[in-house]
Structure 1
Amino acid sequence: MGLLPISIQNRGLSLTPFLITSPPPYFQLLSAPKFTHFSQISGNNFINCLPSRTQRSSVAVRSVATEAAASPPAAKMVKAIRIHEHGGPEVLKWEDVEVGEPKEGEIRVKNEAIGINFIDVYYRKGLYKAATLPYTPGVEACGVVTAVGPGLTGRQVGDLVAYAGQQMGSYAQEQILPANRAVPVPPSIDPKVAASLMLKGTTAQFLLRRCFKVEPGHTVLVHAAAGGVGSLLCQWANALGATVIGTVSTKEKAVQAKEDGCHHVIIYKDEDFVARVKEITSNNGVEVVYDSVGKDTFEGSLEVLKLRGYMVNFGQSSGAPDPVPLSAIAAKSLFLTRPSLFHYAATREELLEAAGEVFANVASGILRVRVNHSYSLSEAAQAHTDLENRKTSGSIVLIP
């Protein structure tokens, strides 16, 4: 065994430190449980730890080497973004965190790309409440499985998987995930695309196919048409045969929205979108509005709906909408919903069905995923700043 430095002080006498190369029997027979390291043994304590001749015959022998071998392995340290208090982008801190071994039903994943979403901003600000503080944000990523929990089948080290869901913690180099929330990524899908597609793509899927089923001949209004979800909604709705109206903030984003299948693009800073939608639809209105903006667009969105139209509010980037009186809904027998992906992908079967349809549409060319911005994971605060200031379009990913 290795050399062990020992320093002994007793009754005011300081003895020169010495090395023990082979511990004598009384070091093997230490029975005082309160001393766990030799550095804790000094003075009278050292003398008191020596077992009597009688005790030597009854105490089980355990060497220092055996104790070291039985100790648990050191925790693995990785870098991650941590939030200790709610606030602006400055609360996103770059820190060391521990990653343990996966338990039953879990996998450990080394992230290759991490998706940024507005829901991350809502949690950071405290609009949505995380279970604990501090916490690691992020609900979307793609990576390689590095360890599999005991008894788990259907997953193996080396698999490329992606996930999106209520399990937070994706702003990290490596993380533990429930295996049933991770889906296999087809070889044709790049990790950056998968990381930016899982939450946004499955959101677009349930909004268009389940929350309100878009069909040929429908007219739909998509706010933030050049955003991550908006871009996918426009492309997919167009492919389904709908007439697509999109709102954006700049001329540059208007160009992208046109490329993504918008038949009509409204730059809301230059035009009143309510008046423009009524003009486009000859005052008939639209069947459905997909609104992720919230406060700034909510009342106008209700106004442009036709009879029995659907108001689908799935975000609030401009703030929470004001309370809506029932009379505002009753005026045209409108439907109002505030859906969550987590309720539409509550089971593994629903998750696999949604992800499968999204991946198939990417493979067939129906969906083109715009990963327009990449940041280092350590630059998450800058990414949040740019997102909130509407300096981004398409999808944003963090690279560990």
Structure 2
Amino acid sequence: MREPVDLRRKRILAAVRARGTARVRDLAEELQVSVVTVRRDVEELTREGRLRRGHGVVRSTLPAEETPVRDLADGDRVAVVVPERHSYLTEILHGARTVLEEAGLRFALHIAPRAAGAERALVERALTDGARGLLFAPRWLSRADEEADYGWLAALEVPTVLMERRPRPGGAAHALDTVCSDHWYGAHLAVDHLVGLGHRRIVFATREDSPTARTLREAFTRIAEAHPLVEAWAWALSAPSAGNEGPYTAAETADVPALLRRTEATAAVLHGDEDALMAVQRLAETGVRVPEDCSVVAYDDVVAALGSLPLTAVSPPRAEVGRVAAELLLHRLAEPSGTGRGARRVEVLPHLTVRGSTRRLP
């Protein structure tokens, strides 16, 4: 039997007021109705002045003393620590900032230079200055860098959410909350698009100097090996300076045009955007036309659309990662101490934007 509209809206109001903030998708799941239905209810409650809407988030309009998150936020601040010169994180920061500022939390950004121990020192300083929570995107250029941080991260005594970082299973930091793009799904989108255009031989050129890059290499490898229509594939570094793990074979450091010729591949997926744009330039210099002779998909979609030939690209949901990470941190801050709830790992799906660099194979 369908629940009366008035009763459903009362339940939405009660859920939002109890938490201070709630995601539309979570409400739909709890009420066992469609997201469209919840959005319609939220729009009506917003018109009545009983709720406020954000980006996929609903907030209570009750005064501060009646909302747990706002009580905590009054006069509090959180620290956000990211590495320097990392343009990929800019949209993530904007997404997080929107949520935190709407909740009344002060937002302190700390940028870590590329120096040993810099990130830990910034985090400790921020906590000393009174930060009540932490959003953190460590640099982690190699697995050794990552594992060196596990001990002190696990010992932090404030709610901490890792953004676009996924600690290795079994490590001390595996119990931290994390919000990431689902890069396996992003790799799947790229391969599925190319295979759907008739390409059966594909070159994958990725970086390997970040957690994202290492995850992508593993994802492309597993997907290509398992896909029944991929006849041949090869992997190489997207640029000579893109790898820290090594050692690499000659084939794994081969130039993309040379690797395409050797494997007779008709398509390539390249991470990230700048390396993809430069590879297209090198292909043109060797007489290989994109997309007539070779289809190219970029991975990141930060500047992929800005080349003389706009590139088809997989776009990780950067702003959404920031928003979800901030919402998760707000929930942690609002929880009574000692609740002992387990770590939450959230993966947000990327999407594919088709532009002029891919075409159906004749």
Report if TM-score (shorter chain) is over 0.5: no
Give TM-score, length-normalised by structure 2. Answer: 0.36
Name which structure has the greater RCO, CA cutoff 8 Å, separation 6+: 2
Query: Which has more helix, going by share of residues?
Result: 2
Query: Which has more strand, going by share of residues?
Result: 1
Indicate the structure (1 or 2) with the bigger Cα radius of gyration.
1
Give TM-score, length-normalised by structure 1. Answer: 0.33
